[in-house]
Amino acid sequence: MIFDRPTSAELVEAVSQFLEKQIKANLPDHLAFKTQIAINVLNIVKREQENKELLTKQSKEILLNLLKNPKEADIKQLAEKIAEGKLTLENKELQKALIEITKKKISVDNPKYSTYKKLIK
């Protein structure tokens, strides 16, 4: 890593705070609404920057545990195996893997989402 701080996540955080505190309040409703979407997007980027290494590693472990072969342990091949019927719908390990991987995705995309909040309680 050759770059100084702020990290990319910290830079994004700074822009997000600026939009939230100094811009949004001074805008008419429809632009404030769009600005909120911009803030939400920046917050996704920030969470992804901060967590992607760990979440990718954990997901890889889940996939490896389910699919055994390291060459096959990725999302695309999991999707294919389900489509081809090589993993049955009744497979409890498959169901568990889908739950866990989806939780990791939404923890970055929208950790305030009702279903996610319910499931991590």
Partner 1 sequence: MSEELQLKIEQFLLKKGNVGMVSELVPLTGGASAETWRFTFSNENKSSQMILRRGSGKKSPLAVLKSEEAVIQQKVKSFGAPVPTIVAISLDEKDLGDAYIMSLVQGESIARKILRDEKFSAARQKLAFQCGEAMAKIHSVNLNDFDQVPKKPIREELERLYLTYSSFNQPSPVFEYAFKWLNKQDFTNRKDALVHGDFRLGNLMIDESGLAAVIDWEMVSVGNPMLDIGWMCINSWRFGQSEKVVGGFGDLKELLEGYNSISNEKIDNEEVKIWQVLGTLRWGVICLIQVYSHLNGDVNSLEKAAIGRRVSETEIDIVDLLFLGGK
Q: Binding-site residue total for partner 1 (CB under 8 A)?
A: 34
Smallest distance, Å, CB 101 to partner 1? 7
- At 90, give phi and psi (nearest 5°): -80, -15
What is d(CA 121, CA 116) in angstroms, rounded to the nearest whole number?
Answer: 9
Residue 13 vs 47, nearer CB to partner 1: 47
What is d(CA 26, CA 105) in angstroms, rounded to the nearest whole number?
Answer: 33
H helices of the chain, in order, are 8-18, 29-67, 75-83, 92-109, 114-120
Window 57 to 96, contacts with partner 1 (CB under 8 A): 75-76, 78-80, 82-83, 85, 89, 94-95
Per-residue x/- track, 10-39, partner 1 (CB under 8 A):
--------------------x---x--xx-
- Return the amino acid letter for 64: L
Residue 17 vs 95, nearer CB to partner 1: 95
Window 96 to 115, contacts with partner 1 (CB under 8 A): 97-99, 101-103, 105-106, 109-110, 113-115
State whether the Cα torsion 13-19-21-22 is positive or negative.
positive
Contact 97, 66 (CB under 8 A): yes
Contacts with partner 1, residue ranges (CB under 8 A): 30, 34, 37-38, 40-41, 44, 75-76, 78-80, 82-83, 85, 89, 94-95, 97-99, 101-103, 105-106, 109-110, 113-116, 118-119
